[in-house]
Structure 1
Amino acid sequence: MNDPRGAGTAPASMAYAWTVVAILMIAYVFSFIDRQILNLLVGPIRRDLGISDTQMSLLMGFSFAIFYSFLGIPLGRLADSRSRRGLVAAGIVFWSLMTALCGSARSYAQLFLFRIGVGVGEAALSPAAYSMIADYFPPSRRATAISVYSAGIYLGSGIAFLLGGLVIQYVSAQGEVILPLVGSTRPWQVVFYILGIAGLLFSFAFLLVREPPRTHAGATVPFSEVVAYLWRHRRAVLCHNFGFAMIAFCSYGAASWIPSFYIRTFGWAPGRVGIVYGLIVMVFGTAGIVFGGRLTDRWMRQGVGDAALRVGLWACAICVASSVYLLMPRAELAMVAMVPAIFALGMPFGAAPAAIQEIVPPRMRGQASAVYLFIVNLVGLGVGPTAVALVTDYVFHDDMALRWSLLIVGAVACAAAALLLRAGLRPYREALQSLRASRPARATP
């Protein structure tokens, strides 16, 4: 196989390209396990640290998202000019160390600080991954490839709940654990130690990854030029970014509090919730994200230029219709009725970043992806979990009203997403046509 490091070399085989996607997807799985495990540990962490739902939500979202979002832009710039493989590997090592340190936290301030560190490390992953995948795959396959990578969102979330539930069941039965060099350790702290060590070991997998040949050559595009380009197509970019950000708002808000909903409303143990909910998220969330990517690619081949935005619109409609699960009288019925919502919320997460790759020049992909991730994560992850907690704490003043908080926040977010995506259909098509018209004629890969 030819050396893939320099521009202009022969493209890698599809088998190797899919191998890289698989490794990147596993990295994304690890990132989401580390990110989402807190959602299953609300009860014990609140008890041990003496904090409220709102303070807990800041650990779930804001503490992580603020630096994750802001650092994504300079890291996206590095992804356009430096080794993307090295950038991802360094990020994995850093966030895994921070995850392990979360297990050492003895106060709310310490845990908040370490969660910021997890966000800093994870900010290196997706801009570099999107850029690598876009260089490995032709446009007709990009949405599917990015959807497979993005399946790490639901695989990671599901594994976080599933393995977290099993570990909690086992460790809780043992009581406090005495660890070498650490001493007395709570069950929730043991979970963080295990995840941190596992992530550090996985980072060695990037020795198998080679830098793909870039589809552009030359100096890195200044960020001001990227901003100017995005501003020229601002209606398409803003409707796309904020429309999908509101879907993420709904998704992250729900994922953060659904375990607590089953614990508080139906009296399920955290371990049981983790196992059942984790399996549902893994199977149906992953199926939704891959289905959304393949549907986008199919529509694109049929000439539907705004396919990704239409996938988002369908996701909003299905999610609103299936939110009835929050009103079910029994936990088992609620779990079954929740399946369409999880499937639907997964559909846009591969299609949306692929759509950004299609309306920006290749040399801007890393930075444009970072801008997209900045908005999606700041709005979705940074605000979504806290919005649900604020409604619970300050509107209902009742922990047991969580179902109503989830219902209200989800409905408002999906409605806003649908309005934005609908408004962006025509501007997105125009931006796509403009970029295609500016490209020199060449053979289709």
Structure 2
Amino acid sequence: MSTPGSSDSHAIADSNTLGVPYPSERYAWYVVIILMIVYVFSFVDRQILSLLVDPIKTDLELSDTQISYLGGFTFALFYTFFGIPIARWADSKNRTTLITVGLAVWSFFTMLCGTASRFWAFAFYRMGVGVGEATLSPSAYSIISDMFRPERLAVAISLYSAGIYIGSGLAQVFGGIIIGFAVSATELTVPFVGPVAPWQYVFFAVGFPGLIFTLALLTVREPMRRNRSRLDPSKVIQPPPISEVLAYIRANSKTFLFHNLGIAFTSFVSYGAAYWVPSYLIRVHGLTAQETGIYYGWVVVIFGTAGIVLGGYLADVLTQRGKAAAKMQVAMLGALLGVPFSVLYPLMSTPTAALLALCPAAFAAAMPLGVAAAAIQQIMPANMRAQGSALYLFVINLIGLGLGPSAVAWCTDYIFKDPDKVNLSLLWVGTSFGLVSALLLYFGSKHYRATLAYLENYNKKHLI
């Protein structure tokens, strides 16, 4: 006897297959690994700024709030707004080409950040990084969804999403190593640029490898799309206009509202922590930038990656057991588990204790992010996936990345009025918004199940 959850899963599997064969698992996992490495480059280039806060502040004479805009808002604004038209292209054009061009663009603009001498020039280059990175996730989610069966999708997207934590952590680790090298060097020069400061050298060092890795994307073939007619499987259903995508979302507004806002507040906490925990370890516990990068970087790589992959695995296991809303429930669990550790790590009295408390905090913070992206793929029609992903990324990045780092800086600058109390800012932002996130995801679970049923009927009417 099939359960309601299992019938939902079977319906989705049927609606996505339509006679189109899946590639071999070995090749499909190879593509996931390549895309994950690209995502690693994305987050290294995005997050490296967090380790360089104090030297950039000194050289460019910026406040915590101003530098938080460079790390969050200026990037997020262009990342989110360009993501929607780029995603429409991803729903109909060659996605691997789009990712390749995007990787080259954001790597080049990362290197340009190393030439900035004023706030507005730096902001412009960060905008360019955002536009380039907007090509990646909507296209990658769509590619992975076309290569994996629904019951394997959460773990595949979670493995890709592990690039968030591998990239963020390696930005800290390699940033710390490069800073150590740069500080010890008598003079740093970059070809065609000339002498540079250590923090400027770091941007060149992390941006250049991305340009080289564009060659690896030539080994990835554009997969066959699954948005095909039921009556004629050789016919690809073209992406609908954005008005139709918005109409579909409005018809399932409660699901998307609870899901997107729940994950947005999870991201709000995560980005705030990712940006300001290094400064907390440096200012409050007296670690050097090099020590902070190496120690905290490995915490993020190991425990963040473990959390996001285990979250995907758990969601797939529960889905196979008939739990239709498993992805929402796992996301809620991660958000809830993160709250006590958001209280704990900022109050630790030694750097060792703080780093140990950050291990479970990083694990819990990572759990929701892979399953949340997989949830969007599961509830969107196949010919709307990239656009649905872009709208989801628009919400979570505008709120999470655009405001999360600045919220911590606002608390530090205007409430506590002391840079050395950044730990208290992290505590209040992490606990309050973590609880809000868990509640939203809890209430969204029942609406998510209703949207799965809606999708089945929608596909019967439109995939003809």
Q: Does the 8 Å CA contact 1:175/1:187 hold for their aligned counterparts?
A: no
Cα distance, 1:54 vs structure 2 = 0.2
Cα distance, 1:325 vs structure 2 = 1.3
Which of 149, 153, 176 in structure 1 is aligned with 2:164? 153
Cα distance, 1:175 vs structure 2 = 4.6
Asked if residue 11 in structure 1 is aligned to residue 22 in structure 2, the reply is yes
Matches of 2:64 and 2:257, distance apart in 1: 31
When the two chains are superposed, the root-mean-square deviation of aligned CA atoms in Å is 1.3
Matches of 2:369 and 2:178, distance apart in 1: 29
Residue matched to 1:372: 392
- The residue correspondences of 1:60-139 to structure 2 (distance < 5 A) are 60-139=71-150
Matches of 2:337 and 2:433, distance apart in 1: 13
Paired amino acid for 2:423: R
Residue matched to 1:239: 258
Matches of 1:423 and 1:440, distance apart in 2: 28
Q: Does the 8 Å CA contact 1:289/1:347 hold for their aligned counterparts?
A: yes
Residue matched to 2:413: 393
Cα distance, 1:343 vs structure 2 = 0.2
Residue matched to 2:6: none
Residue matched to 2:230: none
Cα distance, 1:113 vs structure 2 = 0.6
Matches of 2:62 and 2:200, distance apart in 1: 16
- The residue correspondences of 1:171-190 to structure 2 (distance < 5 A) are 171-190=182-201
Matches of 2:29 and 2:59, distance apart in 1: 44
Matches of 1:375 and 1:273, distance apart in 2: 31
Matches of 1:332 and 1:44, distance apart in 2: 24
Matches of 2:189 and 2:155, distance apart in 1: 46
Q: SS state of the match for residue 347, structure 1?
A: helix
Cα distance, 1:433 vs structure 2 = 2.0
Cα distance, 1:119 vs structure 2 = 0.3
Asked if residue 213 in structure 1 is aligned to residue 224 in structure 2, the reply is yes
Residue matched to 2:9: none
Paired amino acid for 2:284: T
Paired amino acid for 1:85: T
- Specify every segment of 5 or more residues in structure 1 that has no aligned partner in the other structure, as ranges: 1-6
- The residue correspondences of 1:346-357 to structure 2 (distance < 5 A) are 346-357=366-377
Paired amino acid for 1:152: G
Residue matched to 1:407: 427
Residue matched to 1:164: 175
Cα distance, 1:181 vs structure 2 = 2.4
Matches of 1:439 and 1:190, distance apart in 2: 52
Paired amino acid for 1:122: E
Q: Give the TM-score of the pair, scaled to structure 2.
A: 0.92
Distance 1:17 1:83, change over 3 A: same
Q: Does the 8 Å CA contact 1:253/1:385 hold for their aligned counterparts?
A: yes
Matches of 1:230 and 1:434, distance apart in 2: 11
Paired amino acid for 1:87: L
Residue matched to 2:321: 302
Asked if residue 272 in structure 1 is aligned to residue 291 in structure 2, the reply is yes
Paired amino acid for 1:331: P
Matches of 2:127 and 2:59, distance apart in 1: 20
Q: SS state of the match for residue 22, structure 2?
A: coil
Residue matched to 2:7: none
Cα distance, 1:425 vs structure 2 = 1.1
Asked if residue 321 in structure 1 is aligned to residue 332 in structure 2, the reply is no
Residue matched to 1:3: none
Q: Give the TM-score of the pair, scaled to structure 1.
A: 0.96
Residue matched to 2:52: 41
Q: Does the 8 Å CA contact 1:8/1:213 hold for their aligned counterparts?
A: no
- Specify every segment of 5 or more residues in structure 2 that has no aligned partner in the other structure, as ranges: 1-17, 228-235
Alignment: residue pair count: 435
Asked if residue 338 in structure 1 is aligned to residue 349 in structure 2, the reply is no
Q: SS state of the match for residue 225, structure 1?
A: helix
Asked if residue 248 in structure 1 is aligned to residue 267 in structure 2, the reply is yes
Matches of 1:350 and 1:201, distance apart in 2: 27
Matches of 2:184 and 2:35, distance apart in 1: 35
Q: SS state of the match for residue 356, structure 1?
A: helix
Cα distance, 1:10 vs structure 2 = 3.5
Residue matched to 1:229: 248
Matches of 2:45 and 2:186, distance apart in 1: 23
Matches of 2:163 and 2:52, distance apart in 1: 21
Cα offsets for 1:137-177 (capped at 9, x unmatched)? 01000000000000000000010000000000111111541
Identity %, equivalent residues: 49
Q: Does the 8 Å CA contact 2:172/2:297 hold for their aligned counterparts?
A: yes
Residue matched to 2:212: 201
Cα offsets for 1:399-445 (capped at 9, x unmatched)? 0110110001111111111121122111111101222345459xxxx
Cα distance, 1:89 vs structure 2 = 0.3
Matches of 1:364 and 1:178, distance apart in 2: 47
Matches of 1:78 and 1:363, distance apart in 2: 11
Which of 119, 127, 142 in structure 1 is aligned with 2:153? 142
Matches of 1:407 and 1:391, distance apart in 2: 10
Matches of 1:280 and 1:338, distance apart in 2: 7
Q: SS state of the match for residue 195, structure 2?
A: strand
Moved more, 368-377 or 318-327: 318-327
Q: SS state of the match for residue 221, structure 1?
A: coil
Residue matched to 1:420: 440
Matches of 1:408 and 1:312, distance apart in 2: 21
Cα distance, 1:219 vs structure 2 = 2.2
Cα distance, 1:178 vs structure 2 = 2.8
